[in-house]
Amino acid sequence: MSTAYVVVALATAEVSMSWLIFPAGFKSAGAIGLALGLLGVPLVGTAAAIGLILFFVCAAYTRIRVSDYSSTFYLGPASSSPPPSPRWRSAWPRTTERVCGRSHCRQRRHSPGVVPLLGGMTNRPAMHVLRTPDDRFDDLPGYPFDPHYAEIDAGDGHGTTLRAHYVDESTGQPSGETVLLLHGEPTWSYLWRNVIPPLVAAGHRCVAPDLVGFGRSDKPADRFDYTYQSHLDWLRRLVFDVLDLDDITLVCHDWGGLLGLRLLAEHPGRFRRVVATNTMLPAGDQDMGPFFLFWLQSSQRSNPFSVGEVVTRNHRSGKEIDPRVLAAYDAPFPGEPYLQGARQFPLLVPISPQDEAAGPNRDAWAVLERLEIPFLCAYGELDPVSRVHGEEMAERIPGAKGQPHVTIPGAGHFVQEDQPGPLTQAIADFIEGRP
């Protein structure tokens, strides 16, 4: 009797450890529980039943991501309890109905009458999607661009679509160059408002998307819907599947680089040249430094979370930013539910070799270290995090050798806000000098 109880306890402990730390071990843990249960005489029937249950439950949840738990276990907004872990969500399939109102879209979920034990199970419900009201973008200073939208697959397994916004500006005398401007955390395409007009005046087409969760793009309300891979998939669907951009000059900032450089490595034939500004491609084997750790904590504990305040804290030009500009940075985020993408981004940066994006980023570096595409680094002199990574890129990427890399004086992390003129000139000169 006691032996069987010990065996069941050990199997349960094994499953619990795998559940919390090693999701890839779910099936093996369940199998161990089954095997040990079969040996658990005299309670063979009970132990085996428990083992079988553990096996099927764990197998159903094998695909849960490690990053889904890191934020719950280690960090969370000080003003509220952490979001519920996705392991407690219903795993059963549901039919959905998309309902869009003036300020948001949501999915009505209807559970079927019969729940299958095996097959067709998913570890998450349909995505709940928010949409910032259009009137919050009225009369933003220095942002006269017409909105453009595309519907892309959310990838939640329920047929949910996301409306992605992008700026698309060009002139009547095109140069034939397409400049893809990717913003980062926690800004949106408003960051590029002073960079776009001079490039368009030079004849270049400028495309500046709002990443999902930012700007005028739709915003999943559950932060666990935001993963490194989902951001890549959403951006790929917009830029390649919908817009079919080619011969691209990539200009990437902050998380725009963590995503854009991955796309570059996976689709090098789509790109003509690259300008990296205050960005990096971490693979979990680098020292991120104390400033990043401060940002990691601040991004989770700040209440309220203000994008304008983040821009202000990192402002280095010595000139005061117009309060209307700071309010414009906050325009897409009327409340905490709209901020889940911004809250989650810092937690997705690979800071250890075990992070889910660490391996794919190492694979991307293996490509970048052979890439001959012209590659320019234009970094802010006073940025506390990214400049050292710019030096690393200049050394490791063949296409960066011998390029006129720029360190922009009087610029911190948000170069586009501190010194938009020198950055724009560096981009324009690089396009003209590297046909």
Residues annotated as catalytic (active site), given as ranges: 254, 383, 413
- State the alpha helices, DSSP H only, in 221-269: 228-236, 255-266
Task: Identify whether the C-beta of residue 118 lies closer than 8 Å to the C-beta of residue 99.
Answer: no
Nearest to 40 by CA among 13, 2, 70, 83: 2
Cα 125 to chain centroid, rounded: 20
Distance (Å, rounded) from C-alpha 276 to C-alpha 274?
6
Rg (CA), the chain: 24
CA pseudo-torsion sign 208, 253, 127, 79: negative
Task: Identify whether the C-beta of residue 148 lies closer than 8 Å to the C-beta of residue 168.
Answer: yes
Q: What is the DSSP letter of 46?
A: H
Listed in sequence order, the residues at least 6 apart from 336 whose beta carbon sits closer than 8 Å to its beta carbon are 304, 305
H/E segment holding residue 58:
helix 44-60
